[in-house]
Amino acid sequence: MVFVFVFILSVNPTFSTTTVSTEIFYPFGSAAGDKSNPVDDDGSSSVIHLLSPFLFFGRTYQQIYVNNNGHLTFNKPSSLYTPYSFPANRSQDIIAGLWTNLNNRMGGVISYQQYTNGSVLTRASQDINTHFPNLTFNASWVFVATWGKVETSFQVVLISDVNFSFILINYGDIAVTEHQVQAGYDTVNSTDYFVIPGSNNGSFISNLRNSSNVNDTGRWAFRVDSGQHNISKGKRFLDIQWCEKVLAPFLISYFFACLSHFNVSDHQTNLNISKDNTSEHNMQFLNEGFYY
Ligand SMILES: *[C@@H]1O[C@H](CO)[C@@H](O)[C@H](O)[C@H]1NC(C)=O
Ligand SMILES: *[C@@H]1O[C@H](CO)[C@@H](O)[C@H](O)[C@H]1NC(C)=O
Ligand SMILES: *[C@@H]1O[C@H](CO)[C@@H](O)[C@H](O)[C@H]1NC(C)=O
Ligand SMILES: *[C@@H]1O[C@H](CO)[C@@H](O)[C@H](O)[C@H]1NC(C)=O
Ligand SMILES: *[C@@H]1O[C@H](CO)[C@@H](O)[C@H](O)[C@H]1NC(C)=O
Ligand SMILES: *[C@@H]1O[C@H](CO)[C@@H](O)[C@H](O)[C@H]1NC(C)=O
Ligand SMILES: *[C@@H]1O[C@H](CO)[C@@H](O)[C@H](O)[C@H]1NC(C)=O
Ligand SMILES: *[C@@H]1O[C@H](CO)[C@@H](O)[C@H](O)[C@H]1NC(C)=O
Ligand SMILES: *[C@@H]1O[C@H](CO)[C@@H](O)[C@H](O)[C@H]1NC(C)=O
Ligand SMILES: *[C@@H]1O[C@H](CO)[C@@H](O)[C@H](O)[C@H]1NC(C)=O
Ligand SMILES: *[C@@H]1O[C@H](CO)[C@@H](O)[C@H](O)[C@H]1NC(C)=O
Ligand SMILES: *[C@@H]1O[C@H](CO)[C@@H](O)[C@H](O)[C@H]1NC(C)=O
């Protein structure tokens, strides 16, 4: 019970005045040598041929598209500005940093770059070894896609050593929007998917910069190489959805009160939540779960 109180106290204003910095952001923009997407509402990059194959839940991709509306696709570009909800059980793998109606004609830069050497690889290796201990991971390829002040600022970073692959999503200032939103990832037939809690309501998405599943404010990190999960994860997702309904309109405190009814463990496999009727609150949640 003591931990429960610590947790509630941690949601006080003092805690959340921590300056949100872009320290979690990897280098981006023209200064970093990025290529920029065309200025085009609902546009996309042209096909980007990957310098190293990227393994995504059992499928190996050699190419990717950076779509202006905040998401990445592999087989073809996407102009969709209204996200579908995950799990969608569609025939597409998709990574949604923040899939919503974004228009770079109104300002901002959408840019990307891939790295196969240098300090960005070192940094990515350190980050993955911090977020996923004991893998002794050594990155050989990093892909950074950044939406810089396209109303909103965030980054999707793909990291690979060929056998293992990871995604980092870094959130900066995220503008409230009336458009539909979705952040996370979904796969072919939704055998694997993840919705970042609180990311599917535009009224609340500014909170993305304050949340994390790896104790690094504003960052969500996922291992995405193999299909370790299957559709049974849907049950766990529904539990989170239920929390999201309960939490409104006091997002943070209600959300945690709700989530504390579940066990959250194993951040190496992203989120492993099981309903726990026997203990109302548990510590695993604090140790390995969400951080605000
Ligand atoms: C998120 O962080 C910002 C800036 O640090 C702060 O103004 C805001 O109140 C925080 N939101 C929550 C829900 O803690
Ligand atoms: C997904 O769609 C297929 C048909 O394409 C259907 O057979 C299957 O039951 C659906 N799965 C879920 C979880 O809805
Ligand atoms: C570093 O990677 C870039 C491409 O990302 C490549 O053009 C360059 O040749 C590489 N340099 C070395 C020393 O491998
Ligand atoms: C990492 O390895 C050490 C030593 O083998 C072990 O004590 C620790 O629990 C491991 N950490 C994780 C997160 O598996
Ligand atoms: C990581 O791999 C690079 C080659 O890609 C190598 O030069 C470096 O020594 C490796 N680092 C570690 C810690 O294994
Ligand atoms: C990837 O896995 C293969 C087969 O297990 C292994 O031979 C290879 O060394 C691994 N590569 C890296 C970078 O870990
Ligand atoms: C997705 O579901 C369809 C219809 O059930 C099936 O034909 C296809 O093989 C599945 N694809 C994958 C990658 O599981
Ligand atoms: C979270 O990070 C902070 C500082 O970055 C550190 O002091 C704290 O021990 C970390 N908490 C856990 C549970 O790792
Ligand atoms: C899904 O996972 C469960 C438990 O890990 C396993 O028993 C089941 O066979 C899996 N189903 C599929 C279709 O992989
Ligand atoms: C977002 O949350 C607000 C406040 O709870 C609610 O009024 C609104 O309908 C929600 N929007 C969506 C798209 O769910
Ligand atoms: C979820 O966690 C439980 C308990 O820690 C563990 O037994 C199970 O294997 C995990 N499942 C997955 C899919 O990681
Ligand atoms: C939830 O966590 C508590 C405390 O760590 C543990 O005793 C309980 O067995 C867990 N329940 C499930 C369903 O994993």
Domain parsing of the chain, residue ranges: 30-236
Q: What is the predicted pLDDT for the residue at 135?
A: 82
Ligand 5 pocket test target in 136, 138, 142 with most atoms within 8 Å of CB: 138
Q: How far does residue 197's CA lie from ligand 2's centre (Å)?
A: 24
Q: What is the predicted pLDDT for the residue at 248?
A: 42
Q: Residue 265 forms beta bridges with which residues?
A: 272
Q: What is the predicted pLDDT for the residue at 197?
A: 79
- Ligand 6 binding pocket, CB closer than 6 Å: 161-163
Rounded to two decimals, what is the model's pTM? 0.76
Q: What is the predicted pLDDT for the residue at 3?
A: 33
Question: Could you read off the pLDDT of 211-236 as tens digits, one per residue?
Answer: 887 778 899 888 888 744 433 333 34
Question: Could you read off the pLDDT of 145-172 as tens digits, one per residue?
Answer: 999 999 999 999 999 998 899 999 999 9
Is the minimum distance from the CB of 215 to ligand 8 under 6 angstroms?
yes
Q: What is the predicted pLDDT for the residue at 217?
A: 85
Is the minimum distance from the CB of 232 to ligand 9 under 6 angstroms?
yes
Q: What is the predicted pLDDT for the residue at 194?
A: 84
- Residues of the chain above pLDDT 90, percent: 52
Q: How far does residue 247's CA lie from ligand 2's centre (Å)?
A: 30
Q: Which residues of the chain have pLDDT under 70?
A: 1-22, 227-292
Q: What is the predicted pLDDT for the residue at 252?
A: 52
